[in-house]
């Protein structure tokens, strides 16, 4: 459940955005600016892939928690949004902590070494809160990016698609419970792939190669992305964009289903345009119960 924020997003204290890779951090920053908020950007070194010259920003190493904490204090930040992807987990040798983090370090170290992404994000959120900074979800700024329930675009869902959606939903839900990923692909009612640490696009590219080499059976199939059942919704919600549609098309899939109200669709206009062009459906769905 998302924790209710205790601060107004238009208060005098500053909002910061921790920016990973992808378009979401930019969308959040631009939306904040439109709402009269001047966000400070903490661009993660080696992860952030957008140009932040138009915003007040600092590039920070992902594992230098002490520098991040000091910067937040210098910038009078009391609210922060975690936005964008992170490809690489912090290296233990690169970790720098503040004095306040001393007693939390064993838990942080455990999550870096052995925990799943959700466990690491929860610990990261706790570290921000330890320094008096409230973590809020990106959806507080960009609620319009959340997927609505139903079909987007011109292409509908077939009966075979419905079967694949249910099968992939069950697989994605179990994957999330295990804190291993958020996405799965079903073809002809059979799970053929689940998301790993390298992300959804890598999974789709692997399916494309497998189909070309005959290692994966024919048929179309469906990609499903769900929020992890235990996930803190303030970070790492499932996300798709135009590239997701193109990669799903290359993998021969008939459509993409994401969890309504708990997933982001970036650049929605072009997502729909691409899907229509390729004859694919895009849909927001409610979570399917495991059978």
- In tens, the pLDDT along 6-48 reads 444 445 789 999 999 999 999 999 999 999 999 999 999 999 9
Q: Which residue spans of the chain are classified as CATH 3.40.140.80?
A: 146-285
CA dihedral sign of residues 48, 83, 57, 267: positive
Instruction: Tell which wins on pLDDT, 10 or 50.
Output: 50
- Tell me what percent of the residues of the chain surpass a pLDDT of 70: 90
Q: Phi/psi of residue 135, each to 5°?
A: -90, 125
pLDDT at 172: 96
**Mean pLDDT, rounded, for 67-84:** 94
Q: Which residue spans of the chain are classified as CATH 3.40.50.20?
A: 14-140
**Mean pLDDT, rounded, for 151-170:** 96
**Mean pLDDT, rounded, for 231-257:** 94
Sheet strand arrangement including 281-285: 150-152, 281-285, 255-259, 222-225, 183-187, 190-194
Domain covering 14-140, topology: Rossmann fold (3.40.50)
Burial class (CB in 10 A: 0-12, 13-18, 19+), 109: middle
pTM of the model: 0.85
Read off the tokens for 20.
């990973």
DSSP string computed for 193-227: EE--TT-HHHHHHHHHHHHHTTSS--S--EEEE--
Least confident span in 74-83, 91-100, 136-145, 196-205: 91-100
Please provide the CATH number assigned to the domain covering 146-285: 3.40.140.80
Residue 159 is inside which H or E element, if any? Answer: helix 159-177
**Mean pLDDT, rounded, for 161-166:** 97
pLDDT at 291: 38
Angle, helix 242-250 to helix 200-212, in steps of 10 degrees: 20
DSSP string computed for 112-134: HHT--HHHHHHHHHHHHHHTT-E
pLDDT at 217: 66
Task: List the helix and strand counts (H, then E) for the chain.
Answer: 8, 13
């Amino acid at each position: 459940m998302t924790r209710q924020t205790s601060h107004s997003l238009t208060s005098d204290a500053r909002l910061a955005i921790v920016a990973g890779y992808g378009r979401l951090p930019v969308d959040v920053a631009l939306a904040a600016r439109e709402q009269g908020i001047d966000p400070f950007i903490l661009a993660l070194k080696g992860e952030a892939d957008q140009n932040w010259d138009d915003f007040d920003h600092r590039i920070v190493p992902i594992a230098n928690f002490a520098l991040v904490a000091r910067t937040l204090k210098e910038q009078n930040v009391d609210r922060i949004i975690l936005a964008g992807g992170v490809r690489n987990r912090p290296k233990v040798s690169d970790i720098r902590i503040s004095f306040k983090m001393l007693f939390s370090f064993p838990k942080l170290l455990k999550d870096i070494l052995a925990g799943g992404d959700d466990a690491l994000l929860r610990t990261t959120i706790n570290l921000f809160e330890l320094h008096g900074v409230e973590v809020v979800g990106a959806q507080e700024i960009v609620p319009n990016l959340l997927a609505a329930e139903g079909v987007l675009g011109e292409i509908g869902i077939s009966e075979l698609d419905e079967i694949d959606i249910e099968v992939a939903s069950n697989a994605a839900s179990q994957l999330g419970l295990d804190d291993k990923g958020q996405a799965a692909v079903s073809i002809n009612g059979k799970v053929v792939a689940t998301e790993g640490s390298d992300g959804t696009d890598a999974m789709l590219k692997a399916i494309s190669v497998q189909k070309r080499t005959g290692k994966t059976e024919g048929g179309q199939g469906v990609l499903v992305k769900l929020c992890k059942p235990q996930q803190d919704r303030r970070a790492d919600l499932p996300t798709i964009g135009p590239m997701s549609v193109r990669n799903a098309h290359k993998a021969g899939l008939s459509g993409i289903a994401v969890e309504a109200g708990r997933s982001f669709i970036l650049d929605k206009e072009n997502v729909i345009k691409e899907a229509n062009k390729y004859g694919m459906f895009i849909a927001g769905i409610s979570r399917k119960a495991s059978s």
